[in-house]
Amino acid sequence: MKIQPLGDRLVIKVAEVKEEKTKSGLYVPDTAKEKPQEGEVLAVGPGARNDKGERIPMDINVGDKVIFSKYAGTEVKIDGEEYLILSERDVLAIIK
């Protein structure tokens, strides 16, 4: 992947949707499932700028597993792979 986010943006590979089966043995189709809200950070921008023009360092690093807001970011497709580009403020937590 050759993409560099700008400002306080992140590129995230969203976690795969796990196949779900009900107690009665029926499989839930992908269209009926909710979009996952977690993923792995693949690229991090340099950080936003403050009023003085100085960079504010990012709290999130490449390789972090994160939980993000449900409807956050923009989905993009690069080289057949789907990614999510979102702002650092849309990240709710880092999974340790």
Distance CA 53, CA 14 (A): 32
From 52, 53, 51, 58, select the one nearest 5 (Cα to Cα).
Answer: 58
Q: Please give the structure tokens belonging to residue 75.
A: 């989905």
Tell me the per-residue pLDDT of 50-77, one tens digit each, with 9 for 90 and over: 999 999 999 999 999 999 998 889 999 9
Is 41 a residue whose pLDDT tops 90? yes
**pLDDT classification of 46: cutoffs 50, 70, 90:** very high
Tell me the per-residue pLDDT of 10-37, one tens digit each, with 9 for 90 and over: 999 998 766 666 677 777 665 655 667 8
Domain 9-16+33-95: give its CATH architecture: Roll (2.30)
Bridge pairing between strands 38-44 and 65-68: antiparallel
Instruction: Provide the 3-class DSSP secondary structure of residue 69.
Output: coil
